[in-house]
Amino acid sequence: MEDKVCVVTGASEGSMGAGICKELAAAGFKKIVLISRTKSRLEATAEACKKIAAVETFVLPKDLAAPGTSAEAVKEIIDKYGSEYHACFSFSEAKFHQVWFSRA
């Protein structure tokens, strides 16, 4: 799992997405991208993950409901990590959506 990247939207501290980030860190994933609107709450989740395990976090404060921001986020993630994702977890309006990308 060292080379896999997990992308979690709705990852602000105090949310279900934040809980998933922490579980991914505990499970041994080493690269977690956190996306949500509030940078300070994302940073709090990132710090909590780092207390659980040695993880690299990439915080992207984005409102994915705004036009064009999803494409921006994808570009930033690909620029940083390439196009090899392991999993993407998305939380919105108390609904959970899971999308898997795996070419490895």
Local confidence band at 56 (pLDDT 50, 70, 90 cut-offs)? very high
Q: What is the model's pTM?
A: 0.83
Q: Choose from 8-12, 25-29, 67-71, 72-76 the range with maximum mean pLDDT.
A: 25-29
- Measured CA to CA, the distance from residue 40 to residue 2 in angstroms comes to 26
Q: 44 with 68: CB under 8 angstroms?
A: no
- Distance of CA 24 to CAs 16, 69, 100, Å? 12, 25, 14
For 27-53, the pLDDT digits (tens) are 999 999 999 999 999 999 999 999 999
The confidence score (pLDDT) of residue 67 equals: 86
Average pLDDT score, the chain: 83
Topology, domain 5-100: Rossmann fold (3.40.50)
What is the percentage of the chain residues whose pLDDT exceeds 90? 45
What's the CA gap between 50 and 86, in Å, rounded? 20
Domain residue spans of the chain: 5-100
